[in-house]
């Protein structure tokens, strides 16, 4: 065999090897440049500490092409909330998971009546278990570090929607709530609270009563003004929502005499002044209704007999009794017990 033929033969073998290696490499490498999801909409992936490759596939409905990320999910996944955009490549998604490049979630602090309800709602929106929140809310030392006790702690939370990391620790969530509370209580709001001789916690406590008394927002400043007037003259607040809170039954449609005798620091029929803490997490509108209350001479209020959600207000007890009789008559006619 001539030297030229040998060279051609070796060149042919070399090219064959190169092409074979390239083909094999392409077979394994090319798929990572495919779109990882076939969805036309962004796909959210929530990875917690207990997740495995299989559990993540189940969460995602075992879509095709997610299997191309199996080398990542076979390792311990990094917790967090990730968004995979339409046509995002496997290699880019891999980098996102590897680097922990999360997308924030929107966490809403809702209007709820108890801290246990709040714990449940927060757990639905974050990686933290509801029992962890509930235990922290009852931890005297933990609440004290935030400047509250378990009774006043609802005043820490300002109802709004916040962006957070889904896998935030409980401590970071609560510190965020403290910063949001401090940002909410501007100097203007603090000055208004001082003018009516109330602390921010007092304002929120009164706002919680106003919020439970009426859902009709235009009426809130008038309701707030009535309760502030009672406080100023030393009259018991006698707020029915505080009795429901003391009894622990928020479904009560009628308050009877035996309800009014329940021994509780929250029962404002038996105790003068504000209860020891909010009876719910009130809306910002309710808080501002206290700070910007309506000044008037009303001392009494009673739900209107048309069940519109608004109230009849009275300056004297005799006027109030007439309003109350109309409302009780309407309750009886509807068979509400």
CA distance 185 to 202: 13
The pLDDT value recorded for residue 73 is: 59
CB 314 within 8 A of CB 298: yes
Alpha helices in 82-219 (DSSP H): 90-99, 115-125, 130-137, 140-146, 170-184, 187-195, 200-213
> Strand ranges (DSSP E) for the chain?
43-47, 80-84, 105-108, 161-164, 300-303, 311-314
Among 206, 186, 174, 189, residue whose Cα is nearest residue 273: 206
CB 56 within 8 A of CB 76: no
Q: What's residue 22's pLDDT?
A: 42
Ranges under pLDDT 50 in the chain = 6-10, 14-15, 17-30
- Return the pLDDT at 188: 98
Interatomic CA distance for residues 1 and 107, integer angstroms: 79
Closest CA to 250 of 284, 279, 214: 279
- The structure tokens listed for 302 are 């009673």
pTM: 0.83
- CA gap 260, 278 in Å, rounded: 19
Name the burial class of residue 335, with classes exposed (0-12), middle (13-18) and buried (19+) by CB atoms within 10 angstroms of its CB.
Answer: exposed
Check residue 37 and give its pLDDT: 65
For residue 32, CA distances in Å to 26, 124, 250 come to 10, 34, 56
- Within 10 angstroms of residue 223's Cβ, the number of other Cβ atoms is 26
Q: What is the pLDDT of residue 162?
A: 97
Helix or strand run (H / E) with residue 329: helix 317-334
């Amino acid at each position: 065999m001539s030297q030229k033929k040998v060279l051609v033969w070796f060149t042919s073998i070399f090219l064959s090897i190169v092409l074979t290696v390239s083909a094999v490499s392409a077979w394994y490498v090319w798929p990572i440049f495919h779109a990882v999801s076939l969805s036309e909409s962004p796909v959210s992936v929530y990875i917690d500490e207990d997740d495995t490759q299989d559990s993540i596939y189940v969460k995602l409905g075992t879509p095709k092409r997610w299997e191309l990320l199996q080398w990542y999910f076979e390792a311990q996944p990094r917790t967090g909330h990730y968004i995979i955009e339409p046509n995002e490549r496997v290699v880019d998604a891999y980098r996102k998971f590897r680097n922990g490049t999360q997308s924030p979630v929107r966490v809403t602090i809702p209007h709820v009546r108890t801290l246990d309800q709040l714990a449940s709602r927060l757990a639905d929106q974050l990686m933290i278990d509801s029992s962890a929140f509930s235990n922290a809310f009852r931890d005297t030392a933990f609440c004290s570090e935030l400047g509250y006790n378990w009774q006043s702690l609802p005043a820490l939370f300002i109802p709004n929607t916040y962006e957070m990391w889904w896998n935030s620790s409980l401590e970071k969530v609560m510190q965020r709530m403290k910063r949001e509370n401090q940002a909410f209580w501007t100097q203007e709001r603090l000055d208004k609270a001082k003018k009516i001789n109330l602390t921010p916690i007092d304002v929120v406590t009164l706002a919680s009563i106003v919020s439970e008394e009426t859902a009709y927002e235009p009426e809130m400043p008038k309701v707030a003004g009535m309760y502030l007037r009672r406080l100023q003259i030393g009259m018991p607040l006698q707020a029915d929502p505080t009795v429901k809170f003391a009894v622990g039954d928020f479904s009560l449609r009628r308050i009877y005499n035996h309800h009014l005798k329940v021994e509780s620091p929250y029962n404002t029929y038996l105790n003068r002044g504000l209860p020891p803490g909010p009876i719910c997490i009130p809306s910002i509108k309710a808080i501002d209704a206290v700070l910007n209350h309506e000044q008037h001479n009303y001392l009494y209020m009673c739900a209107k007999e048309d069940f519109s959600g608004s109230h009849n207000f009275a300056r004297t007890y005799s006027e109030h009794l007439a309003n109350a009789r109309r409302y009780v008559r309407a309750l009886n006619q509807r068979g509400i017990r």
